[in-house]
Structure 1
Amino acid sequence: MSSTPPGGVRGGGSLRIVVLDQRRHRMPGFVAVHAARPDRVAAGTDGALDRAERRYPWLRGVTTGSAVSVWAVDASPVTIQAVLRDVAVEDLLVALIGVGPGGQVFWAERLLH
């Protein structure tokens, strides 16, 4: 899938890509990421996911595992590998979250579901 973020990544901002099992409200515990600019991506978690979950109820569960952080638009394309056991495709949610330089959440967008 591909997406153009609304407003892109503003100065010092970044993106979070999350994969979520909406039925169980769980994310993968481990995510692997590969990008054209490997120094501009990482997998893990941070406080921005907590803020996104509070602001957007449909993101319930994004604090239960790892997300992908992208710090530069020129890092694309970004490939994500994750294992979610016993999950139907129709239960998957992929979302993009715009995060400011101070960790503030500007927006979130559903990419799949």
Structure 2
Amino acid sequence: MTATVAVAGMAAWRWTHNHPPYGPAALAVTSSLSLVSYAEAQAALGEKTRPPLVSDERDQLVLGRVTWQPPPEPLDGGYFAVFLIDKRSNRKPGDFVVSDPQEDVSVGSAGVDNRIAERYAWLRGAGDVKVGDSEWRSNGNRLGVFDEKVSPLTFVARFPYVDEPGRKPTVATAPVGMSDLLLALVSMGPDGQVYWAQRLQG
């Protein structure tokens, strides 16, 4: 009897622990993506923030905006992950710059991103990519938003042009078109729970 109660209690805790406190509809998310010049990127980010450095005239900059209304509950240790993925290669940009407040947004990747890719087939570019027979490597970065008040979120991503035929880039590269891009918002819990993912563009 005691063991049965313990198992039932654990199952109830696990369900509660992994159950989203709210769904994407509660945020009424809107978004946009556009190819921009360096000057346009600078204007969008504000005078205090510099866009990613463009080292080749064939490099491309993509401006993104994601806006949501205040959620029913604070993130409270969780976060929103924002993914921009080139659907052709399932790779993400390596360089992101975000507008203020930058201290509430991180640029990088995490092991939990692989769980997102496993759970959502359309987001398989969120995880690592296989290079060789047994090696996996991060394929770029995503944004982590740790304060629900960071809305609208404005970012600029760089897609570098790689003019080396023998080189296999591990990040998304130019040339890229708007139809090639996927933008997604993922809600994460404080213990790495993948609550839900919403396709915003692409």
Tell me the equivalent position of 1:29: 94
Helix, strand or coil: the match of 1:32?
A: strand
RMSD: 1.9
Check the 8 A contact 2:78/2:189 in 1, yes or no.
Answer: yes
Check the 8 A contact 1:3/1:111 in 2, yes or no.
Answer: no
Q: Structure 2 vs 1, CA of residues 3 and 86 (structure 1 numbering), >3 Å: closer, same or farther?
A: same
1:34-45 correspondence to structure 2 within 5 Å: 34-35=99-100, 37-45=101-109
Query: 1:79 aligned to 2:154?
Result: yes
- 1:30 to partner: Cα distance: 1.6
Helix, strand or coil: the match of 1:60?
A: helix
Helix, strand or coil: the match of 1:68?
A: strand
TM-score (normalised: structure 1): 0.87
How far apart, in 1, do the equivalents of 2:198 and 2:77 lie? 20
How far apart, in 2, do the equivalents of 1:8 and 1:46 lie? 24
Larger strand proportion, structure 1 or 2? 1
TM-score (normalised: structure 2): 0.51
Residue identity (%) = 36
Instruction: List per-residue Cα deviations over 1:59-111 (Å, max 9, x = no partner).
Output: 11223110000011112221111122111211100000100001111100000
Check the 8 A contact 2:78/2:188 in 1, yes or no.
Answer: yes
Tell me the equivalent position of 2:177: 88
Count of matched residue positions in the alignment of Structure 1 and Structure 2: 112
Tell me the equivalent position of 1:12: 77
1:48-67 correspondence to structure 2 within 5 Å: 48-63=112-127, 64-67=139-142
> Which consecutive aligned stretches of 4+ in structure 1 deviate over 4 angstroms post-superposition?
5-9
Check the 8 A contact 1:8/1:73 in 2, yes or no.
Answer: no
Tell me the equivalent position of 2:195: 106
- 1:57 to partner: Cα distance: 0.8
- 1:4 to partner: Cα distance: 3.2
Structure 1: which 5+ runs fail to align?
Answer: none
Larger helix proportion, structure 1 or 2? 2
How far apart, in 2, do the equivalents of 1:92 and 1:39 lie? 26
Check the 8 A contact 1:40/1:75 in 2, yes or no.
Answer: yes
Larger RCO, structures 1/2 (Cα 8 Å, 6+ apart): 1
Structure 2: which 5+ runs fail to align?
Answer: 1-30, 32-65, 128-138, 160-173
Check the 8 A contact 1:51/1:104 in 2, yes or no.
Answer: no
